[in-house]
Amino acid sequence: MPAEVVVLGGGVGGTLTANLLDKALGRNAHITVVDPTGMHDYQPGYLYVALGEAKGHWLTREERSLLRSRVDLAVEEAIRIHPDAGTVQLRNGGSLSWDYLVIATGARLVPDLIPGLAEGSFEFYSLGGAERLAQALRGFTGGSIKVGIAGIPYKCPPAPVEFTMMIDGYLRRRGLRDRSEVELLSPLNRAFTIESASKLIQPIMEQRGIGLTTFFNVESVDPAAHIVESLEGEKQEYDLLVLVPPHEGAEVIKASNLGDVSGWLPTDRTTLQVGGYDNIFALGDATDLPISKSGSTAHFEAPVIASRIASLVTGTAPTTNYGGRVMCFLETGDGKATSLRFDYEHPPVPPQPNRAWHVAKWLFNRLYWETVPQGRLPERAPFTTPKEVSP
Amino acid sequence: MATTEITRSIDARGMACPGPLMALIGAIRTGQVGDVYEVLSSDEGSKTDIPAWVAKAQHELLEVVPEDGFARFVIRKVR
């Protein structure tokens, strides 16, 4: 009898894990990916949509087209996980049994946690949000643009900083920069969560005239008065406000009482097992791990889970561990970018921004569909070698 | 010093910067005025980040106690 494996979520983590498991186990496993939409989104592209540099259509593909032929896809919403019974309940009334469960349900945006946020601000964390922001920017004729973060953790930590750098270039190209103010409202006492990256970024922001307000944790927005207020008691006026909405884990995690108060799954930092269960694994944005919520994280975690499940199915001791590897690009505008490569033990040492990393990011965006979900990215590609820069 | 009654204890040992501070901010966000929070952090950055944030947010830092391999911060929410 083949092992039954259910993968919840058809994003990068779920898709890659399913494909790698199928490659490793062949007919020894029956794998089902459960995804409520059956569509796979390339979320890093939203930033470019917001700035009018890309259209939405290249960011979405049918999940079926990305899965190996033997992997089943159920376009269904999982509403309850029963860990002890080894089943997952579906919205339509059916259920699936599993010997191994992989939870790759990602993060969801919860704008309602901040009063006034939905009415008073724009975001680029969803395709619809990015398209609305692009439209607002097309009509922008100058003024104050404030960019802030309304909850931690959030996906793709470099994105708000990248946005300030890229909006600076956008406004200059449109001849609006001298009539505009761009400011980052950071929840920390620096521009970016990682200190070494902040040291590189802050001088570039200063050079570009991008303002920085520190310790600004968004508490509320007054859409009528165009004022955003922080938990620290500070108020800022704006003409255009761009906020990263608060994030939480998927509803199915909360409904199953498997996560913490925000729905993040208690996940072992090396084995990626959930809550002490030997046969439940989590990856990507769904975990409570203190690392970036990003596709890159899921990309490096998926082979670990696939390898560990393959070992368990074939009766050998799992030996593959996750070491916290993450790799992100960070656009600094003007056609340049830098990269952040790090793991649990080694903070990133980002190189000076240059054209090569910008081109690498551009290439990665274009090659994504044919490489990442299928596990075809060559092992020695720059995207997969964070240890080479470890101090 | 009289022992202050702790409303909520946050064990952030092992969390890298800025995790302990963010855990405190998250707790204060949902707490009540007068609540007292204890944060245990083994991250060196917390020794500057937590007092700096508490000052900026106008809460009260009651204690910073060095322990074996970590520090204990006690904060009262005052507004």
What residue segments make up the domains of chain B, in order of their start? Answer: 8-76
Residues 264-293 of A with CB under 8 A from B: 290
| Average pLDDT score over residue span B12-33 | 84
| C-beta atoms of B57 and A233 within 8 A | yes
Confidence class for position B3, pLDDT limits 50, 70, 90: low
**pLDDT for the residue numbered B50:** 95
Q: Using an 8 Å Cβ cutoff, are B35 and B69 in contact? A: no
The pLDDT mean for chain A works out to 92
- 3-state secondary structure labels for all residues of chain B: CCCCCCCEEEECCCCCCCHHHHHHHHHHHHCCCCCEEEEEECCCCHHHHHHHHHHHCCCEEEEEEECCCCEEEEEECCC
For residue A389, pLDDT over 80 is answered with: no
Identify the three-state secondary structure at position A65.
helix
For residue A330, pLDDT over 80 is answered with: yes
Confidence class for position B15, pLDDT limits 50, 70, 90: confident
Q: Name, in order, each residue with C-beta under 8 angstroms of A135's C-beta and a sequence gap of 6 or more.
A: none
As assigned by CATH, the class of the B8-76 domain is alpha beta
Q: Name, in order, each residue with C-beta under 8 angstroms of A366's C-beta and a sequence gap of 6 or more.
A: none
Residue (of A186, A197, A198, A203) closest to A340 by Cα position: A197
For residue A362, pLDDT over 60 is answered with: yes
Q: How far is A216 from chain B (nearest CA, A)?
A: 9
Least confident of A73-82, A131-140, A290-299: A290-299
**pLDDT for the residue numbered A380:** 40
Q: Using an 8 Å Cβ cutoff, are A123 and A245 in contact? A: yes
Give the Cα separation of A97 and A211 in Å (integer).
53
Please name the amino acid found at residue B66. Answer: P
* Strand pairing class (A3-8; A100-103): parallel
Q: Using an 8 Å Cβ cutoff, are B24 and B37 in contact? A: yes
> Chain B within 8 Å of A371 (Cβ-Cβ)?
no
| Average pLDDT score over residue span A350-367 | 90
Q: Using an 8 Å Cβ cutoff, are B56 and B29 in contact? A: no
Confidence class for position A378, pLDDT limits 50, 70, 90: low
pLDDT tens-place string over residues B33-70: 999 999 999 888 899 999 999 999 999 999 999 999 99
For residue A382, pLDDT over 50 is answered with: no
**pLDDT for the residue numbered A328:** 87
> Chain B within 8 Å of A215 (Cβ-Cβ)?
yes
**pLDDT for the residue numbered A256:** 98
| Average pLDDT score over residue span A240-261 | 96
Q: Name, in order, each residue with C-beta under 8 angstroms of A206's C-beta and a sequence gap of 6 or more.
A: none
| Average pLDDT score over residue span B9-17 | 80
Beta bridge partner(s), residue B72: B40, B65
| C-beta atoms of B29 and A232 within 8 A | no
In 3-state terms, chain A is what percent helix, strand and coil (to 5)?
35, 25, 40
**pLDDT for the residue numbered A22:** 97
The domains located in chain A, with CATH, are: 3-106+250-329 (3.50.50.60), 111-242 (3.50.50.60)
Confidence class for position A302, pLDDT limits 50, 70, 90: very high
**pLDDT for the residue numbered A31:** 98
> Chain B within 8 Å of A220 (Cβ-Cβ)?
no
* Strand pairing class (A326-333; A336-342): antiparallel
Give the Cα separation of A77 and A88 in Å (integer).
10
pLDDT tens-place string over residues A25-84: 999 999 999 999 999 999 999 999 999 998 888 899 999 999 999 999 999 999 999 999
Q: Is the dihedral of CA A189, A191, A195, A201 positive or negative?
A: negative
- Say what percent of chain A tops pLDDT 90: 80
Please name the amino acid found at residue A312. Answer: L
| Average pLDDT score over residue span A273-302 | 94
Beta bridge partner(s), residue A90: A78
| C-beta atoms of A189 and B52 within 8 A | yes
A220: closest chain B residue by CA: B29
pLDDT tens-place string over residues A87-133: 999 999 999 999 999 999 999 999 999 999 999 999 999 999 999 99
| C-beta atoms of A215 and B52 within 8 A | yes
Beta bridge partner(s), residue A89: A80, A95
| C-beta atoms of B17 and A195 within 8 A | yes
**pLDDT for the residue numbered A104:** 98
Closest to B15 (Cβ–Cβ): which among A195, A232, A290?
A290
Decide: pTM greater than 0.95: no
Question: What is the ipTM, given to two decimal places?
Answer: 0.88
Residue (of A391, A199, A372, A370) closest to A300 by Cα position: A372
Q: Which two tokens stand for residue A62?
A: 């049918």
Instruction: Give the total residue count for chain B.
Output: 79
**pLDDT for the residue numbered A196:** 82
Instruction: Give the total residue count for chain A.
Output: 391
Q: Cα-atom radius of gyration of chain B, to the nearest Å?
A: 11
For residue A381, pLDDT over 60 is answered with: no
- Say what percent of chain A tops pLDDT 70: 96
Confidence class for position A390, pLDDT limits 50, 70, 90: very low
